């Protein structure tokens, strides 16, 4: 090996080169960690040329750029994704094998970058990958959290949170950009100079940029994910240090770094937290400056901005970007206010991800003016202009001393979108009913999607191989081609191979649970999986109630021919969400009792896997038989896990909520286990006095399952441990667990019968796969490009 250029030809030589010259390790002494970093560098080298060429092509074309602003990018591990998208999987595996290393272990050595809470953050990651695959010039902007979402473990069944520290290891995929720093102001007051308002901030922080290239399939285009970190303007106070005050000398730096220190672990919004608003302004303002810097470097006239820039706000977390852009255009560049407002609105769009009232962001005006006094004035002016234009409007951006970010984002957006047909419809009739009346064309739908590269090709190699052998490789970039599998579903030979792939994935999962968690699962069981954040509206407690009732029924009638079932749960609860944490504990307590019962444990097992993250999802979804999507209708905006399961051949048991509706339409009602109230019926049911009590009285199974919890069957050392859950279920039961229980039980027994016919089940599963092509994030992104951004692909194959 010579200290020449790192070899570009073969990945094997490149790994050895980087091991030697980048890592400084002798192959004889290198650890898995060193090999993984060497491989990552070798892969990264293969992205850079494409990346630079993509940027050049964008500049040459003078194309409109898309800017995706998101507080969260739940990117997970990147090494495998990059290898897959560069089409290097076979060559890399061979190289790694030749070193006598375990390829899977090498990939899994990478920390999982959990820079997000759940659906919203993972959607942003899938969208970045699809934008690159399509060749749409785009930049993602977010925060480079030092600590991502907390690590979850269980102590006696209870969730314990520990800090996550992915950045302790070198993050090979990032490029530091010291030149792209911006100084951002906070607080202070608004002075008047020559009749004009001038914001005089009290303190300043710098934003430092770290760029992560995002390569699309099959390696022809790469975009940038730019993550901001907080830095002090004057990192170190030498005079204080010399005076002996060592801690104070570094105080400014510590404070500035606090901004990008941790991800808030609440997936519905964290209320009233000053640091949260600081984070939101920090990354929004840095991004707006970066966007303007790039624009002004290429074009002169700010009135061209809407033709060159499309900004997407991923929920309201970056909504302050609107007033910030307006402020710069008006206060700093001198455009008249109304013109600045028009330009801003022509650039900005907003995606809503939830209708839950507690998740709609609003800030007290006191806090707001304390931190962003000039922005509050600008919002007052926007609001006043809106009130003049719509004298009959029912509410504005400011209401009872609060700034409502949803209203603000709506007012400053050209398009506002929901994330499934049902959700978009409900936006028009509920939260944004009045706005929709005033702007009937502004709200549009873009049903979510997931990237098939990570969520099928990468995570399910066995099934992908079968698909490729059957219909070629076109589906990878054009997922609708999965339809071509349809004729093969009737072919017993093919169906056998399909079922064998699932069985092998399940066997892998069994090996892993045994190795990692000491749990032996029955490989032949129905793998019934519910993995997502823990929330009352997602109703993990409905699932565990059904498990209790099933256990009781099995004990009553052991000979009834029950099929074997493994119920798998995973998911984190926000640390402050007491009831969600109780649900976790209840599931673990029930699991302990049920799994120890010799009368039933050959037939029913319950497993709660700790620390759900992208990596665990990639492990579980290919091995699932049944996808639990059981939210109270009207509450889940879309769901994206539901799509991943269908795509991996796991039929859904679910309500008519979010994108379940569209999944069922596409895979066919006969391949979907539907139960429960519709969104409309749910609304009506809440008005029925004592609806929970009535449901319990009408269903002895439900009554008995609740009674088992109430009487301490699962917490004998503390019988009233679950008093709150029981009171909730038997009282207000806002999420209608009791009302939906009987129908859920019925649908689960329908699953039992369907699973008993293995060929019939495999056909159903295969039809889920063949008909899921529409749920690609490529389709979703094309929808945004056409209906919202007016953006084009530069890859010349559109
Ligand atoms: C989620 C929604 O709950 C989920 O239904 C949807 O599929 C996903 O966004 C992507 O659109 N919302 C969040 O993750 C979230 O944090 C609060 O919402 C703003």
DSSP H or E run through 765: helix 758-770
Mean pLDDT for 715-743 is 98
Dig out the tokens for 311 from the structure. Answer: 């900004």
Ligand 1 close to Cβ of residue 638 (< 6 A): yes
User: Which atom of ligand 1 lies nearest, measured to the CA of 639?
Assistant: 7
Are 675 and 743 in contact by the 8 Å Cβ rule? The answer is: yes
Closest by CA to 702, choosing from 665, 666, 735, 729, is 729
Nearest residue CA, atom 8 of ligand 1? 119
Best residue for ligand 1 mutational test, from 69, 119, 635 (most atoms within 8 Å of Cβ): 119
- Number of domains comprising the chain: 1
Q: What pLDDT shows up at residue 798?
A: 39
CA of 353 to the centre of ligand 1 (A): 5
Q: Are 15 and 54 in contact (CB under 8 A)?
A: no
pLDDT at 677: 98
Q: Is 449 in the pocket of ligand 1 (CB under 6 A)?
A: no
SS3 letters across 381-447 = HHHHHHHHHCCCCCCCCEECCEEEHHHHHHHCCCEEEECCHHHHHHHHHCCCHHHHHHCCCCEEECC
Tell me: pLDDT of 683 over 50.
Answer: yes
Cβ–ligand 1 distance for 314 under 6 Å, the answer no
Q: Is the CB of 629 under 6 A from ligand 1?
A: no
Work out the average pLDDT over 401-418: 98
* E runs forming strands in 187-289: 189-193, 196-200, 203-215, 222-231
**pLDDT tens, residue by residue, 744-773:** 999 999 999 999 999 999 999 999 999 999
- pLDDT (average), residues 304-323: 98
- Indicate if the pLDDT at residue 246 is higher than 80: no
Respond yes or no: is residue 640 known to be catalytic: yes
What mean pLDDT do residues 85-101 have? Answer: 98
Ligand 1: centre distance to CA 608 (Å): 23
Distance in angstroms (rounded) separating the CA atoms of residues 258 and 266: 18
At 248 the pLDDT is 76
Give the ligand 1 atom nearest the CA of 72: 16
Catalytic residue flag (residue 567): no
- Cβ neighbours for 187, distance < 8 A, ≥ 6 positions apart: 201, 202, 203, 370, 371, 373
Q: Which atom of ligand 1 is nearest to the CA of 317?
A: 19
CA of 268 to the centre of ligand 1 (A): 8
Instruction: Please say if the pLDDT value at position 216 is more than 50.
Output: yes
The alpha carbon of 318 and the centre of ligand 1 are apart by a number of angstroms equal to 15
268 lines ligand 1 (CB under 6 A): yes
For residue 128, being part of any structural domain is answered with: no
721 lines ligand 1 (CB under 6 A): no
Pocket flag, ligand 1, residue 639 (CB < 6 Å): yes
Q: Is 242 helix (H, G, I), strand (E, B) or coil?
A: helix
Instruction: Say if residues 236 and 253 touch (Cβ distance below 8 Å).
Output: yes
Does 792 reside within a domain? no
Q: Active-site residue 25, yes or no? A: no
The percent of residues in the chain predicted with pLDDT above 70, rounded, is 98
What pLDDT is recorded for position 179? 86
What integer is the mean pLDDT of 172-176? 98
User: Is the whole-model pTM more than 0.90?
Assistant: yes
Q: Is the CB of 419 under 6 A from ligand 1?
A: yes
Q: Is 676 in the pocket of ligand 1 (CB under 6 A)?
A: no
622 lines ligand 1 (CB under 6 A): no
Q: String of b and e for 305-327 (b: at least 16 CB within 10 Å)? A: bbebbbbbbbbbbbbbbbbbbbb
Active-site annotation holds for 502: no
427 is a domain residue = no
Helix or strand or coil: residue 91? Answer: helix
658 lies in some domain:
yes
Q: End-to-end CA distance of the chain: give it in Å, rounded.
A: 43
pLDDT digits (tens, 9 = 90+) for 328-348: 999 999 999 999 999 999 999
Residue 237 has pLDDT above 80, yes or no: no
Average of pLDDT values for 619-627? 98
116, 351, 353: residue to mutate for ligand 1 pocket, most atoms within 8 A of CB: 353
Alpha-carbon distance of 376 to 365, in angstroms, equals 8
Whose CA is closest to 528, among 499, 562, 501, 568? 568
Q: Is 267 in the pocket of ligand 1 (CB under 6 A)?
A: yes
Q: How far apart are CA 203 and CA 371, in angstroms?
A: 10
Q: What is the DSSP letter of 306?
A: H
Percent of all residues in the chain with a pLDDT value above 90, rounded to a whole number: 93
Take atom 17 of ligand 1 and give the residue whose Cα is closest: 268
Residues in contact with 289: Cβ distance below 8 Å, sequence separation at least 6, in sequence order: 182, 328
Q: Can you give the pLDDT at residue 272?
A: 65
Residue 474 in domain: yes
- Tell me what pLDDT residue 247 has: 77
ipTM: 0.99
Q: Average pLDDT over the chain, rounded to whole? A: 96
| Selected catalytic residue, list 25, 65, 226, 353 | 353
Give the distance (Å) from ligand 1 centre to CA of residue 119: 5
Q: Closest Cα to atom 7, ligand 1: which residue?
A: 639
Residue 752 pLDDT: 98
- Please state the atom number of ligand 1 nearest to the C-alpha of residue 419: 11
Query: Which listed residue (640, 666, 701, 767) is catalytic?
Result: 640
User: Is residue 729 one of the residues assigned to a domain?
Assistant: yes
Which atom of ligand 1 lies closest to the CA of 121? 14
Structure tokens at 359: 């998740």
Q: In what order do the strands lie in the sheet with 362-364?
A: 362-364, 402-404, 398-399
Catalytic: 271? no
Host domain of residue 501: 452-781
pLDDT at 2 over 70: no
Domain membership of residue 61 (yes or no) is: no
Does residue 330 carry a catalytic annotation? no
**Do residues 683 and 634 lie in contact, with contact meaning Cβ atoms separated by under 8 Å?**
yes
Does residue 365 form part of some domain?
no
* pLDDT greater than 50 at residue 797: no
pLDDT of residue 559: 93
Q: What is the CATH number of the domain that holds 506?
A: 3.40.50.2000
pLDDT band at 131 (very low <50, low <70, confident <90, very high): very high
Predicted confidence at residue 1, as pLDDT, reads: 61
| Any atom of ligand 1 within 6 Å of the Cβ of 636 | yes
Predicted confidence at residue 507, as pLDDT, reads 98
Mean pLDDT of 216-241: 91
Which atom in ligand 1 lies closest to the alpha carbon of residue 640?
7
Average pLDDT over residues 362-385: 97
Helix residue spans in 677-732 (DSSP H): 679-686, 691-698, 700-710, 723-730
Where would I find the H helices in 62-88?
A: 79-85
Q: Is 448 in the pocket of ligand 1 (CB under 6 A)?
A: yes
State whether residue 97 is helix, strand or coil: helix
Which residue among the candidates 41, 147, 330, 538 is catalytic per the annotation? 538
- Give the active site residue among 139, 375, 535, 644: 644
Residues 335, 337, 343: CA angle, nearest 5 degrees: 70
Find the 113 Cα to ligand 1 centroid distance in Å: 19
- Going from the Cα of 427 to the center of ligand 1, the distance in angstroms, rounded, reads 14
């Amino acid at each position: 090996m010579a200290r020449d250029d790192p070899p570009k030809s073969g990945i094997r030589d490149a790994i050895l080169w980087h091991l030697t010259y980048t890592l400084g390790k002798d192959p004889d002494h290198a650890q898995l960690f060193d090999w993984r970093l060497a491989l990552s560098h070798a892969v990264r080298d293969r992205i850079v040329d494409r990346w630079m060429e993509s940027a050049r092509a964008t500049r040459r074309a003078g194309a409109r750029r898309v800017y995706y602003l998101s507080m969260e990018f739940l990117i997970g591990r990147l090494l495998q994704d990059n290898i897959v998208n560069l089409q290097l999987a076979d060559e890399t595996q061979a190289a790694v094998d030749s070193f006598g290393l375990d390829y899977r272990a090498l990939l899994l050595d990478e920390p999982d970058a959990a820079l997000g809470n759940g659906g919203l953050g993972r959607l942003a990651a899938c969208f970045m990958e699809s934008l690159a695959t399509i060749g749409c010039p785009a930049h993602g902007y977010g925060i480079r959290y030092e600590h991502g979402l907390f690590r979850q473990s269980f102590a006696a069944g209870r969730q314990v949170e520990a800090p996550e520290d992915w950045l302790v290891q070198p993050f090979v995929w990032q490029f530091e950009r010291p030149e792209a720093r911006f100084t951002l102001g906070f607080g202070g007051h608004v002075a008047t100079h020559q009749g004009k308002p001038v914001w005089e901030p009290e303190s300043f922080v710098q934003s430092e940029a770290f760029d992560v290239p995002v390569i699309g399939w099959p390696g022809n285009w790469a975009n940038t994910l730019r993550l901001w970190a907080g830095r002090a303007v004057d990192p170190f106070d030498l005079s204080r240090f010399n005076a002996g005050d060592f801690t104070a000398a570094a105080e400014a730096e510590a404070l500035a770094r606090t901004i990008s220190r941790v991800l808030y672990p609440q997936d519905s919004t964290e209320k009233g937290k000053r640091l949260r608003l600081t984070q939101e302004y920090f990354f929004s303002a840095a991004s707006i400056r970066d966007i303007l810097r790039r624009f002004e470097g290429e074009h002169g006239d700010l009135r061209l901005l809407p033709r060159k820039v499309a900004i997407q706000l991923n929920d309201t977390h970056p909504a302050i970007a609107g007033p910030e852009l307006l402020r710069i255009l008006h206060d700093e560049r001198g455009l008249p206010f109304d013109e600045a407002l028009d330009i801003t609105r022509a650039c900005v769009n907003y995606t809503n991800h939830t209708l839950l009232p507690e998740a709609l962001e609003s800030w007290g005006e006191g806090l707001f003016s304390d931190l962003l006094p000039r922005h509050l004035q600008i919002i007052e002016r926007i609001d006043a202009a809106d009130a003049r234009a719509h004298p009959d409007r029912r509410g504005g951006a400011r209401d009872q001393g609060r700034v409502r970010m949803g209203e603000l984002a709506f007012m400053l957006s050209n398009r506002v979108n929901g994330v499934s047909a049902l959700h978009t419809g409900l936006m028009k009739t509920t939260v944004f009913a009045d706005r929709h009346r005033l702007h009937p064309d502004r709200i549009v739908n873009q049903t979510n999607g997931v990237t098939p590269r990570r969520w099928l090709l990468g995570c399910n190699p066995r099934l992908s191989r079968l698909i490729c052998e059957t219909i070629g490789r076109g589906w990878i970039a054009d997922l609708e081609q999965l339809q071509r599998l349809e004729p093969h579903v009737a072919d017993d030979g093919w169906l056998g191979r399909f079922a064998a792939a699932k069985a092998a994935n399940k066997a892998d999962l069994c090996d892993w649970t045994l190795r990692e968690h000491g749990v032996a699962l029955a490989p032949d069981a129905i793998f019934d999986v519910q993995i997502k954040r823990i929330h009352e509206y997602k109703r993990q407690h409905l699932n565990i109630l059904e498990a209790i009732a099933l256990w009781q029924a099995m004990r009553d009638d052991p000979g009834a021919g029950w099929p074997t079932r493994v119920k798998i749960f995973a998911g984190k609860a926000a640390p402050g969400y007491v009831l969600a944490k109780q649900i976790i504990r209840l599931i673990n307590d029930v699991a302990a009792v049920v799994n120890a019962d010799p009368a039933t444990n050959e037939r029913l097992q319950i497993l709660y896997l700790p620390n759900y993250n992208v990596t665990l999802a990639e492990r579980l979804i290919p091995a699932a038989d049944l996808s639990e999507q059981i939210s109270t209708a009207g509450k889940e905006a879309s769901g994206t896990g539901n799509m991943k399961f269908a795509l991996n051949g796991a039929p859904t048991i679910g309500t008519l909520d979010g994108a379940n509706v569209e999944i069922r339409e596409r895979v066919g009602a006969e391949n979907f286990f539907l139960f429960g109230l519709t969104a409309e019926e749910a609304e009506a049911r809440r008005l029925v006095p004592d609806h929970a009590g009535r449901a319990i009285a009408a269903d002895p199974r439900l009554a008995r399952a609740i009674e088992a919890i109430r009487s301490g069957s699962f917490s004998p050392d503390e019988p009233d441990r679950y008093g709150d859950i029981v009171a909730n279920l038997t009282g207000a039961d806002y999420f209608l667990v009791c009302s939906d229980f009987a129908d859920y039980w019925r649908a689960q027994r329908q699953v039992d019968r369907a699973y008993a016919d293995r060929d019939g089940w495999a056909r159903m599963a295969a039809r889920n796969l063949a008909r899921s092509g529409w749920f690609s994030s490529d389709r979703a992104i094309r929808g945004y490009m056409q209906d919202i951004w007016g953006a084009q692909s530069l890859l010349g194959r559109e």
